Amino acid sequence: MDAARQHNVKRVVVTSSIDAMANSDEVEKIEVLDESYWSKEDYKYNDAYTKSKLLAEKAAWSFVDNLPADQKFDLVVLNPAYIMGPAITAGGDDNGVSMVKSFITNTMDGIPRLHFPMVDIRDVCDAHMKALEVDDAANKRIILFGEAFWLTDIGKTLHEDLSQDYKLKIKYGEMKLWALKVAAAVSAEAKMCVELWDVKLDGINVQRSKDILGIEYRPLKQAIIDMGRSVVEAGMVPAKMK
């Protein structure tokens, strides 16, 4: 950010996350999430990643707010949901890739009934380009969200596609809630999954991304398929799995 100031950059686009908005007890009670909400640093289920996204975004806004008037530049913050879509290298291992790899290798320890708000990586890329170019995007937070899928439906989508061309058999059966509750006695992650069991997470307002950036979201089923195929083709799973 300081380098942008020093070199008279006119606009900076920061990739934040929906995690900088949605992680708080207050948000748990609302029906529709929009850009006015902020996560809480002490939220019970924050991990290093989610807290870092919140702190980094706050720091970016604070930096610009505290600049002298003659040194200020436009700031646009994009807050994508869980990112899915084709991986372009074999080195990537973000949350989406890790989840897909776990499905393909059948190493996921049970599949809870969790709802995932997601967005296609190609829509995220388009949004970044438009955020640099569209005047009305200046100094705004913008949610990026396409659709939400149940975790079991992500597994089913991968199985139906990859079983044809790659002869992969992917397990996607839902685990029992009682088994998750047993695990929750010793696991904070399992406890979180119990609390989020069967909770739909698709009440997200994306009107700003459509009106300002002109984003027309791609179907998420194709993003899941493309990510699964790219993980296999890039050699991110053991050769015996192909």
Q: What percent of the chain has pLDDT over 70?
A: 96
Q: Residue 72: its pLDDT value, please?
A: 95
Q: Of the candidates 74, 75, 97, 76, which has an alpha carbon nearest to the alpha carbon of residue 85?
A: 97
CATH number, residue 11: 3.40.50.720
Torsion of Cα atoms, 77 then 47 then 236 then 108, to 10°: -130
- The residue ranking higher by pLDDT, 149 or 238, is 149
User: Which residue range is the domain that position 76 belongs to?
Assistant: 2-241
Which of 119-133, 184-198, 222-236 reaches the highest mean pLDDT?
Answer: 119-133
Q: Residue 92: its pLDDT value, please?
A: 60
Q: Residue 110: its pLDDT value, please?
A: 84
Give the C-alpha distances (Å, rounded to integers) separating 193 from 4, 57, 174.
41, 26, 13
- Reported as a single tens digit per residue, the pLDDT across 5-14 is 999 999 999 9
What is the rounded average pLDDT for all residues in the chain? Answer: 92
- Reported as a single tens digit per residue, the pLDDT across 34-75 is 999 999 999 888 889 999 999 999 999 999 999 999 999 999
- Reported as a single tens digit per residue, the pLDDT across 84-112 is 999 877 666 677 888 999 999 988 878 99
Based on the structure, what is the number of domains in the chain? 1
Give the C-alpha distances (Å, rounded to integers) separating 100 from 95, 108, 158.
9, 10, 8
